Amino acid sequence: MTTSIPATLIPGDGIGPEIVDATLAALDALKAPFTWDTQIAGLGGVKASGDPLPKATLDSIRTTRLALKGPLETPSGGGYRSSNVRLREEFQLYANLRPARTIIPGGRFDNIDLMIVRENLEGLYIGHEHYVRIDGDPHAVGMATGINTRQGCRRVLEYAFDTAIATGRKKVTLVHKANIMKVLTGLFLETGEQLYAEKYKGKFELDSIIVDACAMKLVLNPWQFDMLVTTNLFGDILSDLVAGLVGGLGMAPGANIGTDAAIFEAVHGSAPDIAGKGIANPTALLLAAAMMLDHTKMPELATRLRTAIDQTLNIDNVRTGDLGGTANTAAFTKALVSRINGG
């Protein structure tokens, strides 16, 4: 019998608790041996204790080193700093793995099987920003600083290249903007090419592309790519684009991997426009839970979960509204659990 695995559970904001409930129902049906320590963060943390990332939540992840997380709200403009970014920094979650696979055939893009690996701690995304006052206008100029380090680039590139080999990817594409941001993203490109020549030559094909051209080619012919590895901000944007190729944000999971912890989540946010209506698609978080099962060396359970999701969507045709269906979250979850139980 598998021993119990302690894990932190953060239901999150907006649709978070709704999709987390659905995911827990599926994991319970699978008898996945996680023992959950439920904690708060984001807007929930602010409301409960005035802190978007309470110490108890950090302490819990420090102990379990494993978390399943619903989306966390971050105000645009002013307000508090993103709890997601802070969690990534705190636990040095340097690699963000975002797979995109067609699950529902017959859409605009069939047979997509792409992996994006996004650097998760550096670049322009770190949010080191300030205003400059000129002639009494305190916001006359907005400035941002991006930082990439050779060591930071190298560790995510190494992780990506090793993952490419472990998962049988044939081609890895480095995505950059080194024609304009020659220093910031040039360093990423140069480090990737050097690392490949040093340790990985012949194990897979390596090429590179400028991010704007990559966006266009992803829409025209996504099948030419296999794995994309890129810096933080480009990875953020391209992973939403790629989610759009496979049915939208409701279908896109993500894993934040570090040396000391791993946090699994959906790519999407808290979806305030549909929160509380019971209509959210829980598939992205369910697929993130499948990644968590793989990560904790339970690939049979991960496969059972992915198979049940496929069957619910494609054989039972039970789909939420974002996928053109009529099921609400509860009806989808019920059908999924019935599939997991062999129904």
Among 8, 39, 173, 270, binds ligand NAD (CB under 6 A): 270
Which residue among 110, 137, 207, 212 is the active-site one? 212
Q: Are 142 and 177 in contact (CB under 8 A)?
A: no
User: Nearest 5 degrees, angle CA 78-CA 83-CA 87?
Assistant: 145
Look at residue 221 and give its three-state secondary structure. Answer: coil
Q: Are 311 and 275 in contact (CB under 8 A)?
A: no
Consecutive H or E run containing 331: helix 329-340
Among 73, 119, 122, 226, binds ligand NAD (CB under 6 A): 73
Active-site annotation holds for 94: no
Q: Count CA atoms closer than 13 A to 93's CA, side-chain side.
A: 26
Q: Is 274 in the site for ligand NAD (CB under 6 A)?
A: yes
Distance spanning both ends of the chain, measured CA to CA: 24
Look at residue 270 and give its three-state secondary structure. Answer: coil
Q: Is 24 in the site for ligand NAD (CB under 6 A)?
A: no
Residue 140 and residue 127: Cα distance in Å, rounded?
18
Q: Which stretch binds ligand NAD (CB under 6 A): 67-75, 152-160, 173-181, 214-222?
A: 67-75
Closest residue to ligand NAD, based on beta-carbon distance: 269
Among 112, 257, 271, 298, binds ligand NAD (CB under 6 A): 271
Active-site annotation holds for 212: yes
Residue 175 or 280: which CB sits closer to ligand NAD?
A: 280
Q: Is 64 in the site for ligand NAD (CB under 6 A)?
A: no
Short-list 236, 230, 251, CA closest to 181: 230
Among 135, 198, 273, 300, binds ligand NAD (CB under 6 A): 273
Active-site annotation holds for 177: yes
Question: Cβ–Cβ contacts within 10 Å for residue 225, how many?
Answer: 22
Q: Is 268 in the site for ligand NAD (CB under 6 A)?
A: yes
Q: Are 95 and 156 in contact (CB under 8 A)?
A: yes
Active-site annotation holds for 297: no
Q: Least distance (Å) from ligand NAD to the CB of residue 135?
A: 33
Q: Least distance (Å) from ligand NAD to the CB of residue 122?
A: 18
Residues in the site for ligand NAD, rule: CB under 6 A? 15, 19, 71-74, 84, 249-250, 265, 268-274, 280-281, 284, 322
Residues belonging to the active site: 125, 177, 212, 236
